[in-house]
Amino acid sequence: MARHIFQEAADAPDGRRIAAAALRNAGPLIEALRTRLPAQGRVLEVASGTGQHAVAFAEAFPALDWVPSDIDPGQRGSIEAWRRASGAANFAAPLAIDIAAPWPVETGSAQAVLAVNLLHLIPESALAPLFEGARAALGAGGRAIVYGPFLRAAGYASDGDRDFDAVLRARDPSIGYKSLEAVSGAAASAGFDPVAIDAMPANNLLLTFAAS
């Protein structure tokens, strides 16, 4: 399956952006997250993008408080438009979070931190602040969950993954697929233990870590 570097999004008149990729993977993500998210509490989603996932997740997990965020003001406008259209009581207004800068979040205030389709778009040096930010936002036992395409010990999962990573690195040599080893190492250094690696459609993985 062809992968896309950035979200191809269309604007609805009310400001909601629609990205085809987010429509495709919302269902499988919800099913996988059922076994990985806590039963209740606050989930801080970083890099929420258009907000399509956030609204789908908030509606699928009514016992969780869903707090979306993004670095990009345009994406935050779209998240807010999805929030208004949804009216879900557990769907908070989007926060402005750059995962590589200090997070405007109270220490220990979340039970899970989720990052979907972000890690291949950030430099490897941003893995440490991502997991350190997540660890500070979580209490002991809280979960950091990341989803996307990764480089496995055996290499790329497919030729399409190899091609997509090459396209990413041609655009910006500092970004691209992260190895499972690099991700696990950054998570361990920030105080996380590995919990699970779930295989997802289109060669993606859902990695779950628990704060020690």
Ligand X SMILES: C[S@@+](CC[C@H](N)C(=O)[O-])C[C@H]1O[C@@H](n2cnc3c(N)ncnc32)[C@H](O)[C@@H]1O
Binding site for ligand X (CB under 6 A): 7, 19, 22, 46-49, 53, 70-72, 75, 97-100, 116-118, 121-122
Q: What amino acid is encoded at 17 in this protein?
A: R
C-beta of 130 vs 157, nearer to ligand X: 130
Helix (H) or strand (E) holding 58: helix 52-60
Residue nearest to ligand X (CB): 49
C-beta of 111 vs 117, nearer to ligand X: 117
**Contact (CB, 8 A) for 44 and 52:** no
C-beta of 174 vs 212, nearer to ligand X: 174
C-beta of 100 vs 188, nearer to ligand X: 100
Alpha-carbon distance 56 to 22, whole Å? 10
Minimum Å distance from CB 172 to ligand X? 11
Q: What share of the chain is helix, strand, coil (3-state, %, to 5)?
A: 40, 25, 35
Minimum Å distance from CB 75 to ligand X? 4
Per the DSSP assignment, residues forming a β-bridge with 91 are 66
